[in-house]
Amino acid sequence: MSPKITTELLKQLRQVMKSPKYVQEPVQAYIVPSGDAHQSEYIAPCDCRRAFISGFDGSAGTAIVTDQHAAMWTDGRYFLQAAHQMDNNWTLMKMGLKDTPTQEDWLVSVLPEGSKVGVDPFIIPADQWKRMSKALRSAGHDLVPVKENLIDTIWTDCPQRPCKPLITLDLSYTGVSWKDKIAALRSKMAERKVLWFVVTALDEVAWLFNLRGSDVEYNPVFFAYAVIGMNTIRLFIDGDRMTDPAVREHLQLDSTLEPEFKIQVIPYGSILSELQAVGAGLSPKDKVWLSDKASYAVTEAIPKAYQYLTPYTPICIAKAVKNASETEGMRRAHIKDAVALCELFNWLEKEVPKGTVTEIIAADKAEEFRSQQKDFVELSFATISSTGPNGAIIHYKPVPETNRTLSVNEIYLLDSGAQYKDGTTDVTRTMHFGTPSAYEKECFTCVLKGHIAVSAAIFPNGTKGHLLDSFARSALWDCGLDYLHGTGHGVGSFLNVHEGPCGISYKTFADEPLEAGMIVSDEPGYYEDGSFGIRIENVVLVIPAETKYNFKNRGSLTFEPLTLVPIQTKMIDVNLLTQKERNWVDNYHQKCREVVGAELERQGRHETLQWLIRETEPLLRAQ
Amino acid sequence: MSPKITTELLKQLRQVMKSPKYVQEPVQAYIVPSGDAHQSEYIAPCDCRRAFISGFDGSAGTAIVTDQHAAMWTDGRYFLQAAHQMDNNWTLMKMGLKDTPTQEDWLVSVLPEGSKVGVDPFIIPADQWKRMSKALRSAGHDLVPVKENLIDTIWTDCPQRPCKPLITLDLSYTGVSWKDKIAALRSKMAERKVLWFVVTALDEVAWLFNLRGSDVEYNPVFFAYAVIGMNTIRLFIDGDRMTDPAVREHLQLDSTLEPEFKIQVIPYGSILSELQAVGAGLSPKDKVWLSDKASYAVTEAIPKAYQYLTPYTPICIAKAVKNASETEGMRRAHIKDAVALCELFNWLEKEVPKGTVTEIIAADKAEEFRSQQKDFVELSFATISSTGPNGAIIHYKPVPETNRTLSVNEIYLLDSGAQYKDGTTDVTRTMHFGTPSAYEKECFTCVLKGHIAVSAAIFPNGTKGHLLDSFARSALWDCGLDYLHGTGHGVGSFLNVHEGPCGISYKTFADEPLEAGMIVSDEPGYYEDGSFGIRIENVVLVIPAETKYNFKNRGSLTFEPLTLVPIQTKMIDVNLLTQKERNWVDNYHQKCREVVGAELERQGRHETLQWLIRETEPLLRAQ
């Protein structure tokens, strides 16, 4: 992986930063955030502006270019990748390390007095705008919105914004109709006394209308906004997608409907002018509800006095708690996904010793097996197929320049998942196809102990996920080991593989309390730079727990693994496990054997069924 | 404990809330916070305004009185106590429970349109003012400063503000001279480019000048402010305390000193006018450093453009990391404190069966034994001496109306501590003088497992204390038990028993990372309303840990108990402990026996030495 040469691009960007054609006054710095106008984590090619200007294409990062400097902020998952992908024009700012300045502090330290810092107001979330603007102002600088995106002005071969057909989801998948979802949203709006709700996150629009799309790779969403009033529904969406008869019928566009469920379809680009019209029609005390992560442009379209901003929208919270149809769908998706992975691992065991399987071949094979399963739509993120030292690059994606061949001498880490019409999967397994060293087994076993500590944790109702993060680290900490990423994220139901408002992380963020029906990942790891990476990840469902004293009827919760893929016992040093941990592994494997075994049998995959039975032997027999 | 009858007082308060003598315009609500002008947790009698108006005298709580309502916000430690102490005029707002409104939300829900909410600007911290003011303004109300404290206007027999003599501490106690502390502070000021630093917290003034006082019970502090410039030191303090020759010599008031160490002594009441003078002399870009918890009155004396506010001051952070002299002092203080408690427990074992020992007698006896120790000054907080159901009142303090007699049938919980000139102690032990039930032992053992999990935890350098909180709860959670308070707080060195900026709590607060030399408490508990309370508390020192892989040279930390008082083995169900936990208990008891035993021997307390030896038998022999 050679770095992108950015000297010429930066020169061009610095020119347009001074050009009266694009900026009212010259800007001394220009911020290029990761996101799109919806603050999506995964973005369409036309929105990959930060990757275009810097070369660094990880999922998180913010670039800032000044007249003299170019700097990139990213987190621990991407330190290695960013360092590899960027040339010497760029300074890597390692977020989470003590000595790394914040973007604001760094800007203040490098800018000449009274500078203007520009940013595209559609791309920066309102809460970040506010923080950044305040910090800059207090140091005598100004954050200014630059209407025309300056990267787009120098990006001559920028791809078109996608506009792909939609998928409609019926009640058997969603459990609740879009009309009932809108009614529930309106009752939340009435509780808070707000008149309008602006849906800006793409997955929230998709969830609300029980529609899916494929405008963005891996996330089954489509470019749209929605504005919900107490008696009106406005959907901002482009293209001929609304002429599709299935979509028209699903949204009842041609039916005689109660007026409050009649959907007005409006072009995507009209959002600002329509919001400004809404704002102009408001009376004192009227409120418009927006996520505080909505773009500055959308937020500012509503006069400040009318804004009602919350970190999580009621849609985000309702979407996180899966109903019975969604939970059953997630179970089905995970069983099919396990079949595909068992096929893959059985195949790898036979093929790796031949020396012909590369990381890319293994990833492609995983996709091939998944695509054979019912209701498969696409992958849920770029497969992390990594062996040996590549495994230590936490969000590695194999490309021809880095592609290693799997061997019996190195650890192989596969973090992958898929979108099925009934659910989203995300699973990591770490395998050795030869004989792991004692040190590799020790590290793997510490990670496994952390995985089990979270998965088997019992905690009172109302507990926030971040309080469970240290459970995942305790065994590693005892040995002086740690990992620089959170332990888990929310997972959507045939939606984004990363979703809020809950998670398990040492980072103090405003996570919502865990409740039964929420789905998160449990994925501790350990990474030895230059040698190997280990991660064990299941997707788990929050379920009620039974305890002896039940917290005086406050109730308690625990997790049930939805992922049912064997954990390689060859990598486990059983002596390091307590009896309780051994029982957890054996029970988990027993369940994999029963549930996935039955599906393998049904699908006639007999050889892989034998592999599964072998891989799910009780621990003391397996050793 | 019968509640205070507040009908007449509330009537009077509501009258002055409308009186043009005290308020420019009538206020529809008046806020009575807990604190004093320094946001102290422990306050002088003249500052106990919230207790005066409501009857509730716990250490934390905020009262709000409107024309129609009176409401009290407090946390889980005080739910029972507040409910007992307040009459029907008051509504208890249980903070931390899901359905409890915030003060702002409650005010908005009860106030008529366009209300004024009054508060004493000296009593409300600037950060709270800002939050409250913003929330009220966005709902059409106004937060207004009321210069005259309205409680004081109706408090006819309000005590005088204390003004007691000072104690000077020499280098053998403090390790660093006050001049060196001021020089270090100035170098932090230079780093941040601030010209002035305003010291508002009483313990920060005391620590900075190596002085102690006794204006506030339990906290060895005195009423004062300090304003430090790059070349000036101003100490705002009242009374003839500066005429004491020892103090004059300590502060070198009569010596020929470098001008930058010359202290100007100014009356306490002149702080606002002096700060306004400082503010008036500033040039653009000049900054004045204040804690964001300083009072609104003091903060607003400096024009906003010049304010530099941080959650923790450099004094707070320097004070938290104890130097070698302070650590050695803390060790000595804890050994003496252990001698006193061993004496007490030996005495209780003999006396309790006679049925003559009440909670108050036991607390007095504890103080008597402590006062026999060298350098004893006073208690560090009101002794919590509680038996049976009183133990479930987390911050209970025995008074004649509630005073129970200790018996062989009930659990006894003693949470107590002292101020010695060389250190501050805080220790909780839970004992049974008869035969505990299986359930009591189960609960005690779960609490002990949590105590050990924190005390023995190993974690990387830079870890924040809140990440350790769940370790203390895990064993309780497994049984469906929990406790409604944090696990630990910072402890001062012959200073406040509760101090920032670190702690161990599930509450997400801006705690600073733990570092070697910091001292915190480790005190999980379990409380069964109406039956008993259990808590096991040691004060522990953060020390470097040795681990196999040492976090790639990032280094690791763990805790060393400073408290050395036996944990009653009779209360332990050894079957519930792992081998590691049993070893921890045995090693801890071995250390108590060696270290405290030697001191008992030296002090000729032979009978108690025998008691100590009996109480520190290894677990399997003790059962």
Specify the amino acid at residue A328.
E
CB A473 within 8 A of CB A482: yes
Buried residues in B358-368 as b, exposed as e (16+ CB within 10 A): bbbbbbebbbe
**In sequence order, which residues have a C-beta less than 8 Å from that of residue A353 and are 6 or more positions away?**
A408, A433
Tokens linked to A380: 């849920």
| Nearest-neighbour CA in chain B from A481: distance (Å) | 5
CB contact under 8 A, B556 and A477: yes
Q: pLDDT by residue (tens digit) across B359-413? A: 999 999 999 999 999 999 999 999 999 999 999 998 889 999 999 999 999 999 9
CB B522 within 8 A of CB B427: no
Tell me the pLDDT band of B556, cut-offs 50, 70 and 90: very high
**Position A200 pLDDT exceeds 90:** yes
Of the partner residues B467, B470, B548, the one whose CB lies closest to the CB of residue A479: B548
Q: Which residues of B are less than 8 Å from A554 in CB distance?
A: 482
**Position A623 pLDDT exceeds 60:** no
**Position B475 pLDDT exceeds 60:** yes
Tell me the pLDDT band of B77, cut-offs 50, 70 and 90: confident
Specify the amino acid at residue B438.
A
Report pLDDT for B622.
54
CB contact under 8 A, B482 and A466: no
**Position B466 pLDDT exceeds 90:** yes
Residues in B lying within 8 Å of A, measured between beta carbons: 98, 140, 285, 457-460, 462, 466-471, 473-474, 477-482, 506, 508, 547-551, 554, 556, 578
E strands, B133-282, in order: 142-145, 167-168, 196-199, 211-212, 224-229, 233-237, 263-266
Is B276 in a helix, a strand, or coil? helix
**Residues belonging to chain B:** 623
Average confidence score pLDDT of chain B: 95
Is A225 in a helix, a strand, or coil? strand
What ranges in A123-241 are assigned the alpha helix state H?
Answer: 126-138, 150-154, 171-174, 178-191, 202-209
Tell me the pLDDT band of B100, cut-offs 50, 70 and 90: very high
Rounded CA separation A380/A372 (Å): 16
Tell me the pLDDT band of A99, cut-offs 50, 70 and 90: confident
Percent of chain A with pLDDT over 90: 91
Q: pLDDT by residue (tens digit) across B259-295? A: 999 999 999 999 999 999 999 999 988 999 999 999 9
Tokens linked to B278: 């400082």
| SS3 per residue for A321-374 | CCCHHHHHHHHHHHHHHHHHHHHHHHHHHHHHHHCCCEHHHHHHHHHHHHHCCC
Its pTM stands at 0.92
Q: pLDDT by residue (tens digit) across B338-365? A: 999 999 999 999 999 999 999 999 999 9
Rounded CA separation B311/A510 (Å): 19
Rounded CA separation A566/A608 (Å): 12
CB contact under 8 A, B477 and A556: yes
CB contact under 8 A, A556 and B480: yes
B543 CB neighbour count, 10 Å cutoff: 13
| Nearest-neighbour CA in chain A from B467: distance (Å) | 6
Tokens linked to B426: 């805080």
CB B49 within 8 A of CB B72: no
Report pLDDT for A508.
67
Q: pLDDT by residue (tens digit) across A504-554? A: 999 866 689 999 999 999 999 999 999 999 999 999 999 999 999 988 888
Residues in A lying within 8 Å of B, measured between beta carbons: 98, 140, 285, 457-460, 462, 466-471, 473-474, 477-482, 506, 508, 547-551, 554, 556, 578
Rounded CA separation A501/A186 (Å): 20
CB contact under 8 A, B467 and A506: yes
CB B463 within 8 A of CB B554: no
| Nearest-neighbour CA in chain A from B546: distance (Å) | 8
Question: Which DSSP letter does residue A509 get?
Answer: -
Side-chain-side CA neighbours of A351 within 13 Å: the count stands at 15
**In sequence order, which residues have a C-beta less than 8 Å from that of residue A329 and are 6 or more positions away?**
A173, A420, A422, A423, A493, A494
Report pLDDT for B118.
98
Q: What Cα–Cα distance (Å) separates residue A553 from each residue in A452, A545, B83, B336?
A: 26, 12, 21, 44
Tokens linked to B409: 């049938």
Label residue B99 exposed, middle or buried (CB < 10 Å: 0-12, 13-18, 19+): exposed
The predicted model gives A2-27 an average pLDDT of: 96
Torsion of CA A15, A21, A23, A26, to 10 degrees: 40
**Position A178 pLDDT exceeds 80:** yes
Of the partner residues A479, A508, A551, the one whose CB lies closest to the CB of residue B481: A551
Buried residues in A91-122 as b, exposed as e (16+ CB within 10 A): ebbbbeeeeeeebbebbbebbeeebbbbbbbb
CB contact under 8 A, B470 and A467: yes
Tell me the pLDDT band of B509, cut-offs 50, 70 and 90: low
Rounded CA separation B269/B238 (Å): 8
The predicted model gives B519-542 an average pLDDT of: 97
CB B366 within 8 A of CB B344: yes
| Nearest-neighbour CA in chain B from A599: distance (Å) | 34
CB contact under 8 A, A549 and B470: no
CB contact under 8 A, A466 and B98: no
Tokens linked to B562: 């400073």
Work out whether strand B70-74 and strand B91-94 pair parallel, antiparallel, or are unpaired: parallel
Tell me the pLDDT band of B4, cut-offs 50, 70 and 90: very high
CB A380 within 8 A of CB A424: yes
Torsion of CA A34, A35, A40, A45, to 10 degrees: -90
Report which of residues B551 and A621 the model is more confident about: B551
Percent of chain A with pLDDT over 70: 99
Report pLDDT for A622.
54
CB contact under 8 A, B458 and A471: no
Side-chain-side CA neighbours of A63 within 13 Å: the count stands at 29
Of the partner residues A466, A470, A551, the one whose CB lies closest to the CB of residue B482: A551
Q: pLDDT by residue (tens digit) across A395-436? A: 889 999 899 999 999 999 999 999 999 999 999 999 999 999
Report pLDDT for A57.
92
Beta bridge partners of A167: A212
**Position A259 pLDDT exceeds 90:** yes
Q: Rounded to a whole number, what is the largest CA-CA distance in chain B?
A: 75
CB contact under 8 A, A478 and B547: yes
Range with lowest mean pLDDT among B133-137, B576-580, B609-613: B133-137
CB contact under 8 A, A471 and B469: no
**Position B621 pLDDT exceeds 90:** no
Report pLDDT for A97.
86
CB contact under 8 A, B458 and A470: no
Report pLDDT for B510.
67
B610 CB neighbour count, 10 Å cutoff: 12
Triad B395, B396, B400: Cα angle to 5°: 160
| SS3 per residue for B87-139 | CCCCEEEECCCCCCCCHHHHHHHHCCCCCEEEECCCCCEHHHHHHHHHHHHHC
Interface size between A and B, measured as CB pairs under 8 A: 75
**Position B482 pLDDT exceeds 60:** yes
**In sequence order, which residues have a C-beta less than 8 Å from that of residue A24 and are 6 or more positions away?**
A144
Report pLDDT for A285.
83
CB contact under 8 A, A549 and B466: no
Residue B28 φ then ψ, to 5°: -90, -10
Tokens linked to A576: 């390091």
Tokens linked to B4: 């205070």
Tokens linked to A69: 């400097």
Q: pLDDT by residue (tens digit) across A106-124? A: 999 999 999 999 999 999 9
**Position A569 pLDDT exceeds 60:** yes
| Nearest-neighbour CA in chain A from B531: distance (Å) | 14
Report pLDDT for B138.
83
Rounded CA separation A344/A338 (Å): 10
Look-up of token digits 């997630």: A330
**Position B537 pLDDT exceeds 60:** yes
Label residue A159 exposed, middle or buried (CB < 10 Å: 0-12, 13-18, 19+): exposed
Tokens linked to B381: 């907080």
Tell me the pLDDT band of B603, cut-offs 50, 70 and 90: very high
| Nearest-neighbour CA in chain B from A253: distance (Å) | 39
| SS3 per residue for B347-371 | HHHHHHHHCCCEHHHHHHHHHHHHH
**In sequence order, which residues have a C-beta less than 8 Å from that of residue A474 and are 6 or more positions away?**
A449, A450, A453, B457, B471
Tokens linked to A405: 């061949």
**Angle at which helices B178-191 and B202-209 pack, to 10 degrees?**
120
Q: pLDDT by residue (tens digit) across A276-311? A: 999 999 998 899 999 999 999 999 999 999 999 998
CB A387 within 8 A of CB A412: yes
Label residue B115 exposed, middle or buried (CB < 10 Å: 0-12, 13-18, 19+): buried
Triad A470, A476, A482: Cα angle to 5°: 75
Beta bridge partners of B428: B415, B537
Residue of B nearest to A579 (CA): B578
Q: pLDDT by residue (tens digit) across B194-249? A: 999 999 999 999 999 999 999 999 999 999 999 999 999 999 999 889 999 999 99
